[in-house]
Structure 1
Amino acid sequence: MQKIGNSSESVSFVLAAYGNVGAFKYPYFIIILFWYVSICVANTVLIVVIHVDRRLHEPMYILLSNLCVNEINASTSLYPFLLSQMFSDSHEVTLPWCFLQMCCMYTSASAEFCSLAAMAYDRYIAICHPFSYNVIMNTERVVMLILLVWIFSFVSLLLSFSFIFGLRFCGNIIDNVYCDHQLIIRLSCSVPIQSSISMIFFTLLSIFMPFNLISISYLKILRVCRKTSTENKQKAVTTCTPQIVSVSNLFVGCIFHSIDFSLLAAQIPEEVRIILPMYLLICQPMLTPFMYGFNLPKIRQACKMLLFKRK
């Protein structure tokens, strides 16, 4: 174990949860690798389909492609780290590497909500203002919207969690398989008030604000759909259902991540306590390509043409 110095830059944390892996490390490694590769392949296929098929060069599908890029980024922030630690003897990781992982994970979480908010806005314009759609959602504005999503996500992360680098730590045992923000804060010699403020600030900026935009968009869509024909209602349901499912799944994952499972250690098995906080990074990256790939007719047709077209 590395000695903890006065500077947080010299701290090496130990991921204690790997100590119970034992002989199961080989099956776990294969399962994690298979799931990570599957996520990358599924999302990459959707990105390639959208890029290749010119009929999908529309704002809705460009935003979907950006969402798939974020799913790959979110998965890459976790799975390679898990794979590298599976065969490590010490399971040590330095604070800069922990911060890098947290940076990628929280940026991806913020980008996920913001991307879904952008997609909800796109559906609102398409359904509620169809005659102005091509003017409002042109290619240049969609690109600017995507850039804004990533800039906003990264800035909100820096404003929320950059104070961690200034902390001094009196412990270095993290009872988890990855660097969790809440567990790292508990290891500091004195828990700063910024820790509580930062989570509230990040939650307001990256979760509740996008969620409010999504809610407003879909409430307006619902109001308009009530006055339209049955065919238009079906089209709206077809295009909006995947986004509603994604947002619902995100909130389930956020609930699991925010629960302090250490207080329920006696009632919940250790494997469950480790897996549930990672629910978002396990299910959401695979849910996105399959929900959109199999539910949107244009995507489904384009996939068939790309994968099964005759020469």
Structure 2
Amino acid sequence: MILPSLNITLIFTNYGPPGALNYGVFIISLAVFLTTVFANVTLMLVIYLDTTLHKPMYIFLFNLAINGLIGSSAALPKIMENLITDLKDILYINCILQVFFVNIYATCAYVILTVMAYDRYVSICKPLQYHNIMTPGKIRLLLFIGYFFPVCSLAVQVYLTSRLPMCRYTINKLFCDNMILVNLSCVKSTWAELYSIILVFVFVVLPLIFVILSYVRILFVSLKASISAQKKALKTCTPHLITFINFSVATLFSVIYSRVNLNVTKEVNAFMSIHFILIPPLLHPLIYGIRTKEIGNSIMKILQRKIVAVDFHLRSEQSCKDIVFHCTK
């Protein structure tokens, strides 16, 4: 059995030659990518600079923004490069790394969203015990688990995939994923496929079940509460619920795209591929920025402080100029 060399070149066959369509998609993708980076970095800076936002929910949101940047940066730059170049290729080692980071983005996002659902559950169902349960130590532990186990598990998956001998070198997709590399292999690895199924169950199915159960419990508690408490619970949970549904739909599209050959147009096929890494990282900070009053207020406070500081600086400079002018006069 000959293992694949890390310097093997793989060819993407689903892009087509550079043309009006490719350039149009490139411009849209670039605009969305830059907006995604700006939105997530802005959200992270607001949470970092405003000490009133140093709470569990916003700490988890900060990490969700980091994860969104990982997802966008893992595949979009290479996709945009392939849209406008004649040779659409990628080294095997870079393809493996792309699989690793895209999967980290997917699994860690689900874990973080699950932890955020737990935070909402404790906040609404056990409000008097919230600060005793969601301690700084517990937050650090949850984040450590949310990164450590997915990274280690996915490292094993990538290692198993990289040990498979390759017989084909063309990829009929827009970017690399684990199933594509497995299908390029000369042999069928039962262990690799079984391990992938276990990962999907642990990092997708179980979090989905946990989030559903959390919101069922929140719903039962809210129905017994007052109208004002129900409105507060709805306002608190809506951004997270929209974010979770959006990411779950995107993940479903990606799974269908990777494992099922559908008779759809090239444009629909491309959208199903890119939706997973293009839309959620962009929408998540926008959803929280629009729906969360505290973040909106923090942005306004930071902007007002900057405006006041600039105005004070300009006035100081003008005062110094006036003093110099009078002294020389």
Would you call these one fold, judging by a TM-score over 0.5? yes
The CA deviation at 1:24 is 4.0
TM-score, scaled relative to structure 1: 0.91
Mapping 1:80-119, distance limit 5 Å? 80-119=77-116
Aligned to 2:33: 36
Runs of 4+ in 1 over 6 A off after TM superposition: none
User: What per-residue deviation string (whole Å, max 9, x for no partner) do you get for residues 185-234 of structure 1?
Assistant: 22111221134313311111110121222122222211211111111111
118-127 vs 78-87, which deviates more? 78-87
Correspondence for 1:76 among 66, 73, 77 = 73
User: Secondary structure of 2:6's match?
Assistant: helix
Tell me, yes or no, if the aligned pair for 1:59 and 1:142 is still in contact at 8 Å: yes
Q: CA separation in 2, counterparts of 1:264 and 1:25?
A: 22
For 1:211, give the aligned amino acid. Answer: L
Quick one: structure 1 residues 153 and 6, their matched pair in 2 at CA, closer, same or farther if it must change by over 3 Å? closer
User: What per-residue deviation string (whole Å, max 9, x for no partner) do you get for residues 109-152 of structure 1?
Assistant: 00111001111111111111112111211223212211211112
Quick one: structure 1 residues 260 and 47, their matched pair in 2 at CA, closer, same or farther if it must change by over 3 Å? closer
TM-score, scaled relative to structure 2: 0.87
Q: Give the count of matched residue pairs.
A: 305
User: Secondary structure of 2:16's match?
Assistant: helix
Mapping 1:132-211, distance limit 5 Å? 132-211=129-208
Mapping 1:1-311, distance limit 5 Å? 7-260=4-257, 263-265=261-263, 268-309=264-305, 310-311=307-308
User: Secondary structure of 2:42's match?
Assistant: helix
For 2:179, give the aligned amino acid. Answer: Q
Q: CA separation in 2, counterparts of 1:193 and 1:260?
A: 22
The CA deviation at 1:53 is 1.1
What RMSD in Å do the two structures reach over aligned CA positions? 1.9
For 1:294, give the aligned amino acid. Answer: I
Q: CA separation in 1, counterparts of 2:267 and 2:18?
A: 10
- Unmatched 5+ residue regions in structure 2? 309-329
Q: CA separation in 2, counterparts of 1:46 and 1:88?
A: 34
The CA deviation at 1:269 is 1.0
Tell me, yes or no, if the aligned pair for 1:156 and 1:206 is still in contact at 8 Å: no
Q: CA separation in 2, counterparts of 1:68 and 1:272?
A: 27
Q: CA separation in 2, counterparts of 1:158 and 1:139?
A: 28
User: Secondary structure of 2:180's match?
Assistant: helix
User: What per-residue deviation string (whole Å, max 9, x for no partner) do you get for residues 46-90 of structure 1?
Assistant: 111111111111111111111111111111111122233334432
User: What per-residue deviation string (whole Å, max 9, x for no partner) do you get for residues 21-55 of structure 1?
Assistant: 43444333322221111001011111111111111
37-46 vs 278-287, which deviates more? 278-287
Q: CA separation in 2, counterparts of 1:169 and 1:116?
A: 36
63-72 vs 86-95, which deviates more? 86-95
User: Secondary structure of 1:168's match?
Assistant: coil
- Unmatched 5+ residue regions in structure 1? none
Q: CA separation in 2, counterparts of 1:246 and 1:299?
A: 16
Q: CA separation in 2, counterparts of 1:52 and 1:258?
A: 38
Structure label with greater radius of gyration: 2
Tell me, yes or no, if the aligned pair for 1:160 and 1:201 is still in contact at 8 Å: no
Tell me, yes or no, if the aligned pair for 1:128 and 1:224 is still in contact at 8 Å: yes
